[in-house]
């Protein structure tokens, strides 16, 4: 597991600030990273010095980091060598999903200023994620950030995870703007039945508000990635959901069906929620086929390739973020390993009954 927060002894600064780590400073926000002895790395930025434990500057080279003297940490906001860089906009949320991997909190810390500066220092053509909590609880600030960053860095693209319940017709102007066209909206839809969807997200009326939000996104021509986390609660109604998407949300692409992450609320509800696709893929296959016949592309996120029948493996890219994935002893020597998601760092042995080296 890759650590995103690194202990740091920071001197010469009182407040948190964002810099990019480089061997030689070529930008006003570049900090010089070098090795001072076999076990210590030094970050220099003006009069500020930050010392880290480490023996190799290459692991951090090009990273955009938040140096926080108050907490004595270096937070790696953007890792230059990674495709998986996401800003957590807030931990507040207005839903309480039964399988939430990051249970919501009541407090909010405003880091928009830091995220904006970090975005402007991102590698060329990067895709930056914005997640929560629910980011659109701070919709005006989020839209403003995306517009300003796009003006400064039109090469960047964005991915925003949202429950889709806070959009209004007035937002179509942003969705249709140059900045809005660079955003893909990841929106969860867990069932075609409103009562079941509302039960999964822990909020009465969520389904109806979501349909309004999806319609607004659709009318504006926004990029929509529908997301369905696979659980025992909805595994038997995936075909109904596929028909619903084909009829009412045909403008969304792709439809991402996601395997469960054993963390947060799902950890204590694992046995009642986890659906083992390694031994029961038929209903999943039927739903996929229905969607594809309707020209809706389908992807399988977080599915180890050996748990997916060969005919559907091309739909399962490596999607588990590199900082939290791992491989099991069963994966040693597997010819599919280089293109496989592997498993979450907190994977449970009480999961897949059938894991076979390919």
Q: Return the percentage of the chain with pLDDT > 90, whole number.
A: 94
Sheet bearing 5-7, strands edge to edge: 5-7, 73-78, 64-68, 17-22, 30-37, 40-45, 48-53, 9-11
Which residues touch 247 (CB under 8 Å, ≥6 apart)? Answer: none
Quick one: 133 and 167 in the same domain? yes
The answer as to whether 100 is a domain residue is yes
Quick one: 278 and 203 in the same domain? yes
Using left for φ > 0, alpha for ψ between -120 and 50, and beta otherwise, residue 205 falls in: left
Quick one: 34 and 150 in the same domain? no
pLDDT at 239: 98
pLDDT at 114: 98
List beta partners, residue 18.
Answer: 66
**Dihedral angle over CA of 162, 133, 142, 120, nearest 10:** -110
Range 265-275 average pLDDT:
96
Is the pLDDT at 123 greater than 90, yes or no? yes
pLDDT at 358: 85
Phi, psi of 120 (to 5 degrees): -70, -15
Quick one: 165 and 310 in the same domain? yes
CA distance 49 to 72: 12
pLDDT at 96: 97
User: What is the pairing mode between strands 325-326 and 5-7?
Assistant: unpaired
The tens digit of pLDDT for each residue in 12-44 reads 999 999 999 999 999 999 999 999 999 999 999
CA distance 263 to 348: 10
Query: Domain span at residue 237?
Result: 86-344
Quick one: 17 and 92 in the same domain? no
Quick one: 55 and 160 in the same domain? no
Quick one: 93 and 49 in the same domain? no
The answer as to whether 330 is a domain residue is yes
Cα–Cα nearest to 350, from 292, 278, 243: 278
pLDDT mean across residues, the chain: 96
Range 216-220 average pLDDT:
98
The tens digit of pLDDT for each residue in 176-202 reads 999 999 999 999 999 999 999 999 999
Is the pLDDT at 87 greater than 90, yes or no? yes
Task: Single out the residue in 50, 78, 106 at which a domain terminates.
Answer: 78
Range 128-147 average pLDDT:
98
Give the position of tokens 């042995």. 349
Which pair of tokens denotes residue 268?
């204590």
Evaluate whether 12 touches 49 at the Cβ level (below 8 Å).
Answer: yes
The answer as to whether 96 is a domain residue is yes
Cα–Cα nearest to 215, from 237, 241, 189, 236: 189
The band of 1, judged by pLDDT with boundaries at 50, 70 and 90, is confident
The tens digit of pLDDT for each residue in 285-299 reads 999 999 999 999 999
Quick one: 20 and 130 in the same domain? no
The answer as to whether 194 is a domain residue is yes
Evaluate whether 224 touches 252 at the Cβ level (below 8 Å).
Answer: yes
The tens digit of pLDDT for each residue in 70-84 reads 999 999 999 999 999
Range 305-318 average pLDDT:
97
Which pair of tokens denotes residue 50?
């930050």
Quick one: 197 and 294 in the same domain? yes
Quick one: 102 and 120 in the same domain? yes
Quick one: 168 and 242 in the same domain? yes
CA distance 35 to 263: 36
Count of CA atoms in the C-beta half-sphere (13 A) of 357: 9
Quick one: 74 and 111 in the same domain? no
Is the pLDDT at 55 greater than 90, yes or no? no
| Per-residue burial over 326-348, b = 16 or more CB atoms within 10 Å of its CB, e = otherwise | eeeeebeebeebeebbbbbbebe
Domain count, the chain: 2
CA distance 262 to 136: 25
The answer as to whether 352 is a domain residue is no
pLDDT at 36: 93
Phi, psi of 43 (to 5 degrees): -105, 125
Task: Single out the residue in 35, 59, 78 at which a domain terminates.
Answer: 78
The answer as to whether 173 is a domain residue is yes
Range 152-163 average pLDDT:
99
pLDDT at 356: 84
Where does residue 226 rank: exposed (0-12), middle (13-18), buried (19+ CB within 10 A)? buried
Evaluate whether 187 touches 210 at the Cβ level (below 8 Å).
Answer: yes
Tell me which of 84-98, 221-235, 334-348 is least confident: 334-348
Which pair of tokens denotes residue 331?
């994966």
Task: Single out the residue in 40, 59, 78 at which a domain terminates.
Answer: 78
The answer as to whether 333 is a domain residue is yes
Which residues touch 297 (CB under 8 Å, ≥6 apart)? Answer: 253, 254, 255, 291
The answer as to whether 175 is a domain residue is yes
CATH number of the domain residue 124 falls in: 3.20.20.70
Give the position of tokens 């990674």. 82
pLDDT at 287: 99
pLDDT at 140: 98
Using left for φ > 0, alpha for ψ between -120 and 50, and beta otherwise, residue 164 falls in: left
Residue 78 has a CB neighbour count (10 Å cut-off) of: 23
């Amino acid at each position: 597991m890759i650590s995103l927060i690194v202990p740091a002894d920071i001197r010469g600064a009182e407040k948190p600030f964002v810099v990019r780590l480089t061997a030689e400073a070529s930008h006003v926000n570049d900090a010089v990273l070098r090795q001072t002895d076999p076990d210590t790395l030094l970050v220099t930025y003006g009069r500020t010095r930050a010392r880290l434990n480490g023996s190799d500057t290459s692991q951090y080279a090009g990273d955009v980091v938040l140096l926080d003297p108050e907490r004595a940490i270096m937070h790696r906001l953007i890792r230059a060598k990674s495709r998986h860089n996401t800003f957590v906009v807030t931990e507040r949320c207005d839903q309480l999903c039964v399988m939430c991997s990051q249970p919501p909190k009541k407090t909010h810390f405003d880091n928009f200023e830091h995220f904006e500066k970090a975005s402007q220092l991102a590698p060329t053509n990067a895709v930056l994620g914005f997640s929560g909590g629910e980011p659109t609880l701070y919709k005006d600030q989020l839209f403003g950030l995306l517009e300003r960053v796009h003006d400064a860095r039109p090469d960047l693209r964005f991915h925003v995870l949202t429950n889709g319940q806070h959009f209004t017709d007035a937002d179509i102007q942003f969705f249709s703007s140059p900045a809005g066209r660079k955003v893909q909206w990841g929106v969860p839809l867990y069932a075609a039945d409103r009562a079941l969807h509302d039960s999964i997200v822990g909020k009465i009326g969520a389904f109806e508000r979501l349909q309004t939000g999806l319609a607004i996104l659709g009318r504006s021509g926004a990029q929509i990635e529908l997301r369905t986390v696979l659980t025992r609660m909805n595994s038997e109604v995936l075909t109904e959901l596929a028909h619903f998407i084909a009829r009412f949300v045909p403008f969304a692409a792709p439809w991402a069906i996601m395997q469960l992450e054993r963390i947060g609320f799902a950890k204590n509800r694992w046995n009642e929620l986890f659906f083992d696709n390694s031994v029961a893929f038929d209903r999943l296959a039927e739903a996929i086929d229905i969607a594809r016949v309707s020209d809706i592309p389908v992807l399988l996120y977080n599915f180890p390739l050996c748990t997916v029948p060969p005919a559907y493996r091309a739909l399962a890219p490596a999607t588990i973020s590199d900082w939290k994935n791992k491989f099991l002893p069963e994966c040693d020597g597997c010819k599919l390993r280089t293109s496989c998601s592997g498993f979450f760092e907190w994977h449970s042995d009480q999961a897949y009954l059938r894991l076979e080296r390919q």
